[in-house]
Amino acid sequence: ATEAEDYDVVLIGGGVAGYVAAIKAGQEGMKVACIEKRGALGGTCLNVGCIPSKSLLNNSHMYHQILHDTKKRGIEVGDVKLNLAQMMKAKDESVNGLTKGIEFLFKKNKVDYIKGTGAFASEHEVRVNLVDGGEMSVRGKNIIIATGSESTPFPGLEIDEEKVVTSTGALALKEVPKRMVVIGGGIIGLEMASVWSRLGSEVSVIEFLGQIGGPGMDSDIAKQTQKILQRQGLKFKLNTKVTSGEASGDVVKLELEAAKGGKNETIEAEVCLVAIGRRPYTAGLGLENIGIELDERKRLVIDQEYRTKIPHIRVIGDCTFGPMLAHKAEEEAVAAIEYIKKGFGHVNYGAIPSVMYTHPEVAWVGQNEAELKEAGVKYNVGTFPFTANSRAKTNLETDGMVKMLSDKETDRILGIHIIGPNAGEMIAEGTLALEYGASSEDVARTCHAHPTLAEAFKEAAMSTYSHAIHS
């Protein structure tokens, strides 16, 4: 065997966490390698996550809007047809363009891209099983684990990615199923349910808890979201647990039970999406060779500087603590390299936005009302509905509201929760406010252009410490 090549930093995993850290290390003048096994860079996010889902969400929304929301705007359309194969092709083109873009950035920043599966041989050596056959070894002064996450399986339901699917199969169905049942009313469940419902499927979402949206979504917003999605045709069964399921012939059958016990029923569909969360992925990493352990939720345990108990081995992204979000992974990637290079880095875990890309979008940052109550914090609430916003009115898109929570005593903003058109863009302003420690009055006294949706944000701030003008 040839001598292992030495690097300042070796990344295991080329998802958002891994590729961003690799580029940053290259920019800092470090000798860096990134090992990725899927044959393409960008990880879950670019290949089977954020990017393909947003492509389908955008184009299915346009299709749905053309079918149902043009007449009142003075647009008469004729023969509208779905070409699903072309919609999938457009999605694949976006994905391919972006993954190739990262390869280009790797070259530009002198990152060695190693296509293969990495496993620890020792604390400084990673053995790589190459995608094209053969093996090689690399040595890292620093090694960063960024192996991401995988879909949590539902016990007893075997995933075939055609009839019983995870998000990966749901992003690549070859035809619109007559009926779809979704286990889990979190973000993946609601985004994918929206796509297939808009394209013509009858979609039912089964959620164990009493509210949709997954962890973090404010209850008021979750209720409004549910109403709006119901109006679009989605069906919900809350407080319901799936006890078992099986695929037989052309249908998948699920047995349901009221979460608190009692009522049982059966639901059938052509496709069942399992979307009950994701779990860290560390299989085959050879952790046993270096004695690094996982916690009870299979996460790699780290300190504040992302170090495992072996200090030159760090962990970032979905395979460790915190929300499983691409932008969180990206922040950690930059910070981890800064810790290695300069000894300090920065991620504010209190100001990481969440966005659900349904229509309308739902976005939030900071704490929700239930969390503030639980922590015993006294707070003010300000809200502003899009029905009173001039731009939303002219766009004929008035569903939703902005809700702001601020400290009762100091007026410092503690949380922002939006459901409405472009909420995902608007939350950037909220995140900045939170990051800078703004008060609601700071935002309210900042001039916002007219007519924009962002004025709803300003007026929600006005109503938090005083009164909105337009409601």
Q: Enumerate binding residues for ligand NAD (CB under 6 A).
A: 183-189, 191, 206-209, 214-215, 241-242, 275-278, 323-325, 355-357
Binding mask 147-166 vs ligand FAD (x if CB under 6 A, - otherwise)?
xxx-----------------
**H/E/C letters for each residue in the chain?**
CCCCEEEEEEEECCCHHHHHHHHHHHHCCCCEEEEECCCCCCHHHHHHCHHHHHHHHHHHHHHHHHHHCCHHHCCCCCCCCCCHHHHHHHHHHHHHHHHHHHHHHHHHCCEEEEEEEEEECCCCEEEEEECCCCEEEEEEEEEEECCCEEECCCCCCCCCCCCEECHHHHCCCCCCCCEEEEECCCHHHHHHHHHHHHCCCEEEEECCCCCCCCCCCCHHHHHHHHHHHHHCCCEEECCEEEEEEEEECCEEEEEEEECCCCCEEEEEECEEEECCCEEECCCCCCHHHCCCCECCCCCECCCCCCECCCCCEEECHHHCCCCCCHHHHHHHHHHHHHHHHHCCCCCCHHHCCEEECCCCEEEEEECCHHHHHHCCCCEEEEEEEHHHCHHHHHCCCCCCEEEEEEECCCCEEEEEEEEECCHHHHHHHHHHHHHCCCEHHHHHCCCCCCCCCHHHHHHHHHHHHCCCCCC
Q: Which does 38 bind (CB under 5 to 8 A by kind): ligand FAD, ligand NAD, none?
A: ligand FAD
Residue 400 near ligand FAD by CB under 6 A: no
Q: Which residue is nearest to ligand NAD (CB)?
A: 186
The catalytic residue among 64, 312, 417, 450 is: 450
Is 450 one of the annotated active-site residues of the chain?
yes
Residue 49 near ligand FAD by CB under 6 A: yes
Q: Which does 146 bind (CB under 5 to 8 A by kind): ligand FAD, ligand NAD, none?
A: ligand FAD
Contact residue for ligand FAD among 7, 9, 10, 16 (CB under 6 A): 16
Residue 117 near ligand FAD by CB under 6 A: yes
Residue 218 near ligand FAD by CB under 6 A: no
Residue 35 near ligand FAD by CB under 6 A: yes
Q: Which does 313 bind (CB under 5 to 8 A by kind): ligand FAD, ligand NAD, none?
A: none
Contact residue for ligand FAD among 10, 36, 308, 391 (CB under 6 A): 36
* Nearest CB to ligand NAD, comparing residues 95 and 187: 187
* Nearest CB to ligand NAD, comparing residues 22 and 242: 242
CB of 212 to ligand NAD, least distance (A): 7
Q: Which does 285 bind (CB under 5 to 8 A by kind): ligand NAD, ligand FAD, none?
A: ligand FAD
CB of 34 to ligand FAD, least distance (A): 9
Residue 45 near ligand FAD by CB under 6 A: yes
Residue 10 near ligand FAD by CB under 6 A: no
* Nearest CB to ligand NAD, comparing residues 35 and 222: 222
* Beta pairing, strands 251-258 & 135-145: unpaired
Residue 37 near ligand FAD by CB under 6 A: yes
CB of 28 to ligand NAD, least distance (A): 29
Site for ligand FAD in 305-334 (CB under 6 A): 317-318, 324-327, 329
Question: Is residue 385 within 8 Å of 410, Cβ to Cβ?
Answer: no
| Interface contacts to ligand FAD, rule CB under 6 A | 12-18, 35-38, 43-45, 49-50, 53, 117-118, 146-149, 167, 188, 281, 284-285, 317-318, 324-327, 329
Q: Catalytic site residues? A: 450
